[in-house]
Structure 1
Amino acid sequence: MAPFPGATAARDEAAYAVVGAPLDISTTFQPGARFGPDRVRRFSRTFDDYDRRTDSRFTDLGVHDAGDVRAWDDAAEYLSFLEGDLADLRADGVVPLLVGGEHTVSVAGVRAADPDVFVCLDAHLDLRAEYDGNPLSHATATRHALDVADEAVILGARTGSPEEWSRAAEADVTVVPPEEVADWTFDRPGDAYLSVDIDGADPGFAPGTGTMEPFGLAPREMRDVVRAVAPSCVGFDLVEVNDRDDGQAAALGGKLLREFVFAHAEGHA
């Protein structure tokens, strides 16, 4: 496995660590999220090291690639193990950059980060208590995040069950529909966790994902959210990239991960 391009820092010198989490057991339409970490690394190879907006180089920002945490078929056990690895990074002052895998891996990321607010770019509400009898389905990720965070902000959501919309109407959830994301501003106090489900993008931009949902976000809208939220973040993940396209989803995901690092580092300079 080649490391994420530009992730050249040693573990004991890292400010950020890429962690692959190729869990792919509850995907309900197009499987392949297990290939997400490798594809994101592969399709990020062409990006320039230098970022003009922040006048910085990715290789100077202390990014380490910790490899993948190999997944197995017991989701609860895997998430517990993954949480431990991410918590170890947090204890050392390292910001985890978790790359899935299905959205269920966000549960481990949020538990390890213990944020005040969970911010998510996603086509789906993911507020189900269970899906097909599975309480650890990828369709339950935001519901589980609310067991840790005080609030969830879901940006770009455009579909959900009646029960999910009822849960979304409660005071601890804010849903920003796609047409309002461009005007949204991040103004929450405390620590944030940012989860980027690549299906938040319109499938015309990122067809390589498990459950495509039309009428979604443009890449620049997603980029602007990442830039706005990153400085407040104690954790980040990118999920639901699979191998069902020619690299569009992986390239977008890899670019958004880099945008997170540039914006977070600038905010903490």
Structure 2
Amino acid sequence: MFPGATTDREAASYVVVGAPLDATTTFQPGTRFGPDRIRRFSESYDDYHRATDSRFTDLGVHDAGDVHPWDDVRDYLDHLAAELRSAVLDGAVPVAMGGEHTVTCAGVEAVEPDALVVVDAHLDLRESYGGNPWNHACIARRALEVVDHAHVIGARTGSPEEWDRAEAADVTVVPPEEAGEWARSLSEREPFDGKSVYLSVDVDAADPAYAPGTGTMEPFGLDAREMREVVRAVAPHTEGFDVVEVNDRDDGQAAALAGKLLREFVHAHAASR
């Protein structure tokens, strides 16, 4: 159980679901261990949150356990989407823990938002990777089949074709050096114009110095405070959330960051209500 997620399912405002998918990782595998590591390395966090004067255990969080994957990724994503959609239908916010980034496709399908905000080192705008359109390198491209706009925060690498796709009107790329200011000015700019948002945090958006336990590390990334700023700023607009791409190849840094960002999302979202 995610620490502090003690509310019964029927009364929950937030439903945490582990999605330990590890099928299309392209460099360092291990995301199958992500949900368990996020739970484990979140055990030391205090219940009280000073910024919102709230306690995590008072915010109605339930941990529904893991939805274990099988060989057919597309079929698994359909099933995961149904599990997440059940939370939406009950009036709760689905909160997924990955698992590789492909699980975001299920979150977007479940929530059906107007916009995607994804915090990521990579553009993830490939039509397919290795001939597979359901690869973790394609999630923003797949999401754009559902949402009207994708905001990619912290992106610093991609193929020439991805950068070309990013020039389209339905994509906004915010480079790492501008992410903090983007978050701080969000309330003034109102970029979502009242539209619903799904927020996905790929832990590889962080510089590897902060989160080495991820599949595809990319230097020159965000620091932990900048990621927190983005999560806090976007959370009030959000109807679904995930944190993904944590693996077991560090001493817990990536999992600790992911767990803290999950808690920051819940605190900020609950405060906005």
State the TM-score bracket (shorter-chain normalisation).
over 0.9
SS at match of 2:27: coil
Paired with 2:147 and 2:268, the residues of 1 have a C-alpha distance of: 22
Query: Pairwise mapping of residues 153-164 of structure 1 onto structure 2 (< 5 A)?
Result: 153-164=151-162
Question: Please, what is the CA RMSD of the aligned residues?
Answer: 0.5
Structure 1 position 73, deviation (Å): 1.1
| Structure 1 residues 68-98: Cα deviation after superposition (integer angstroms, max 9, x where no partner) | 0011110000000011111111000010110
Corresponding residue for residue 245 of structure 2: 240
2:255 to 250, 254, 258: 250
Corresponding residue for residue 112 of structure 1: 110
Corresponding residue for residue 24 of structure 1: 22
Corresponding residue for residue 271 of structure 2: 266
Query: Pairwise mapping of residues 78-117 of structure 1 onto structure 2 (< 5 A)?
Result: 78-117=76-115
Corresponding residue for residue 205 of structure 2: 200
SS at match of 2:221: coil
SS at match of 2:24: coil
Paired with 2:142 and 2:17, the residues of 1 have a C-alpha distance of: 20
Query: Pairwise mapping of residues 107-256 of structure 1 onto structure 2 (< 5 A)?
Result: 107-184=105-182, 185-186=185-186, 187=190, 188-189=192-193, 190-256=195-261
Paired with 1:18 and 1:86, the residues of 2 have a C-alpha distance of: 9
| Structure 1 residues 132-159: Cα deviation after superposition (integer angstroms, max 9, x where no partner) | 1111000000111111110000000000
Give the residue type in structure 2 aligned to 1:49: D
Give the residue type in structure 1 aligned to 2:97: V
Paired with 2:4 and 2:256, the residues of 1 have a C-alpha distance of: 15
SS at match of 1:103: coil
Paired with 1:226 and 1:140, the residues of 2 have a C-alpha distance of: 22
SS at match of 1:89: helix
TM (normalized to structure 1)? 0.98
| Structure 1 residues 18-46: Cα deviation after superposition (integer angstroms, max 9, x where no partner) | 10000101000000000000000000000
Structure 1 position 182, deviation (Å): 1.2
Paired with 1:192 and 1:135, the residues of 2 have a C-alpha distance of: 23
Structure 1 position 258, deviation (Å): 0.2
Paired with 1:42 and 1:160, the residues of 2 have a C-alpha distance of: 33
Corresponding residue for residue 34 of structure 2: 36
Give the residue type in structure 2 aligned to 1:97: V
Paired with 2:87 and 2:50, the residues of 1 have a C-alpha distance of: 29
SS at match of 2:86: helix
Give the residue type in structure 2 aligned to 1:170: A
How many residue pairs get aligned? The number is 266
TM (normalized to structure 2)? 0.97
Paired with 2:146 and 2:153, the residues of 1 have a C-alpha distance of: 19
Give the residue type in structure 2 aligned to 1:159: T
Identity %: 67
| Poorly superposed stretches of 4+, deviation over 2 Å | none
- 5+ residue gaps, structure 1: none
